[in-house]
Amino acid sequence: MALNWNNLQSTVDKVMKSQGFSVVIRVEGSEGTWDPESMSYTGGDPDVDHSTFGIKENYSSREIDGTIIQQNDAKLIIPAKGLPVITTATKILISGTEQNIINVSIVDPGNVALLYEIQLRN
């Protein structure tokens, strides 16, 4: 019997909500077009915030190489369900503080996005 990856995605989402803490994923909007007459931007799109839950872990001493993964880096694991594609340009806020995203990996067996594993640096 084949796994139903969509059901597993929902299960991962439920577990993360019950075990994790609040995280905001912010997709930046656009400024629009500069209007020299009014000296302001017109049009454009506002930022869009997506609420989710995450679990933050420290990297093990085995994983820290001092270059790619540094001493104070942390791993943030969040469910992928209902979220936009996350890249290093995406903004992540934890307790209102913006985090620096160094790397993003996605766990997507069966071509169904289950989790994002995000390397953060302070």
pLDDT tens digits along 32-80: 888 888 888 888 888 899 999 999 999 999 999 999 999 999 999 999 9
- Spatial separation of the C-alpha atoms in residues 114 and 62, rounded to whole Å: 26
CATH of the domain at 109: 2.40.10.270
99: closest CA among 111, 112, 86, 109?
86
Range of the domain at 23: 5-121
Do the Cβ atoms of 49 and 25 come closer than 8 Å?
yes
Residue 1 has pLDDT above 70, yes or no: no
Query: pLDDT tens digits for 75-105?
Result: 999 999 999 999 999 999 999 999 999 999 9
Residue with tokens 């439920």: 14
Cα separations in angstroms, 109 against 15, 47, 68: 18, 30, 25
CB contact set of 4 (below 8 Å; sequence gap of 6+) = none
Residues 110 and 78: beta-carbon distance below 8 Å: no
**Nearest alpha-carbon partner for 71 in 87, 60, 81:** 60
Number of domains forming the structure of the chain: 1
